Amino acid sequence: MATPTGKQSEEASGHAVAADLIAVLVAVTAGQPRFMTIQNGSTLPSGPFAQNDRSLQSGLRTWVEQQTAHPLGYVEQLYTFADRDRATNGIRVISISYLALTRESREGNGESGWRDWYSYFPWEDHRSGPPQCYKDIVARLLDWTKTATAPAQRRVRSRRVTVSFGLDGRPWNEELILQRYELLYEAALVAEAPHVRQRGSSARPVPGQSMSFDHRRILATGIARLRAKIKYRPVVFELMPPSFTLLQLQRTVEALAGKLVHKQNFRRLIEQQDLVEETGAMAADTGGRPAKLFRFRRDVVDERAVVGTKLPLTRA
């Protein structure tokens, strides 16, 4: 039997479907992880997939460069969001998201701008220990677990909060950012949650800038992917300048992970994996003794198939 075309499928089901492309474009500047936004920081760069686009990725590059005046470097497909409630004016929208890594540029078209991702997820930055909002967020989530009517549901909620937020002696897992955001959404503790939108000003969402539609969820998905990927692929070098100090490299990894790494273990791991080589130059603007400048090894750039910058033990 012949497979129906997309148009035939739409007509048969009585529902219209549209596809758009969304970019989580990341840079690290002055030790802070940043991402590109449009519409005053409320949305990620996005646009519809057009019939004349050669591929999904080429369509994405076209849209991002039009909206942000910023060319894309490293790009990989992230996730396809196709939940049934993603509908606008009766049209179900399927969003194909991409993670893109670059270095921040001051260029722009007036509408786009770089934002610190911890202003959207302040509970995720543990570089100086648990942030100020962490304790209150956990307390409100634990209160939420008690609102479940069934004992089994209360146990499930409690375990999810315990694991996701590192309670009862469990370690903080930086990769669980999406699970933490989903918990806050389900508990109606973020502005995007339907109950919070309905209650308006009487609701008190947790700290963190909100985004339109489900773009903060998509951003969380991108951060989770990147936090996991820096452990097994050297993608962090896509965010580095041509030459850098080992401290700058360490600070970049820490910025992405939201946690500190052990300095000696980190440098030992970088050296053991032969990821970098000395340039022969020194950096004088370190605020102290001049430091050696390094670059990513050219043959590693060509191969793109070596183990990544794993995160060593956190400092006590």
Q: Domain boundaries in the chain?
A: 6-118, 121-208, 234-303
Asked whether the predicted pLDDT for residue 168 surpasses 60, the reply is: yes
Answer whether 113's CB lies under 8 Å from 75's CB: no
Asked whether the predicted pLDDT for residue 106 surpasses 70, the reply is: no
| Distant-in-sequence, close-in-space partners of 169: CB < 8 Å, separation ≥ 6 | none
Out of 5-19, 128-142, 159-173, 231-245, pick the least confident: 5-19
Nearest Cα to 95, choosing from 104, 85, 105, 103? 85
Q: pLDDT tens, 117-163?
A: 999 999 999 999 999 999 999 999 999 999 999 999 999 999 999 99
Quick one: pLDDT at residue 74?
A: 87
Nearest Cα to 38, choosing from 13, 77, 66? 66
Specify the 3-state DSSP secondary structure of 48: strand
Residues in the chain, total: 316
- pTM for the whole thing? 0.88
- Inter-residue long-range contacts of 118-122, CB under 8 Å, 24+ positions, other chains counted: 118/32, 118/33, 118/258, 119/208, 119/209, 120/208, 120/209, 120/210, 120/211, 120/216, 120/219, 121/177, 121/181, 121/208, 121/220, 121/223, 122/207, 122/208
What is the overall mean pLDDT for the chain? 85
Greater confidence (69 vs 100) lies with 100
Greater confidence (115 vs 46) lies with 115
Out of 76-80, 194-198, 202-206, 220-224, pick the least confident: 194-198
Q: pLDDT tens, 41-75?
A: 999 998 887 766 667 888 788 878 888 888 788 89
Asked whether the predicted pLDDT for residue 19 surpasses 60, the reply is: yes
Quick one: pLDDT at residue 72?
A: 81
Q: pLDDT tens, 295-312?
A: 998 776 566 555 556 667
Say which amino acid occupies 27: A
Asked whether the predicted pLDDT for residue 288 surpasses 80, the reply is: no
* Segment (H or E) for 140: helix 134-145
- Joined tokens for residue 82: 């196709």
Quick one: pLDDT at residue 15?
A: 64
Residue 129 is classified by DSSP as B
Quick one: pLDDT at residue 69?
A: 81
| Distant-in-sequence, close-in-space partners of 226: CB < 8 Å, separation ≥ 6 | 26, 99, 101, 235, 256
| Spatial separation of the C-alpha atoms in residues 207 and 48, rounded to whole Å | 32
Out of 83-87, 183-187, 310-314, pick the least confident: 310-314
Q: Which CATH code is given to the segment(s) 234-303?
A: 1.10.10.10
- Joined tokens for residue 10: 């739409």
Highest mean pLDDT among 91-95, 263-267, 269-273 belongs to: 263-267
Answer whether 134's CB lies under 8 Å from 123's CB: yes
CA distances from 26 to 133, 140, 240, 302 (A): 24, 31, 12, 22
Architecture of domain 6-118: Alpha-Beta Complex (3.90)
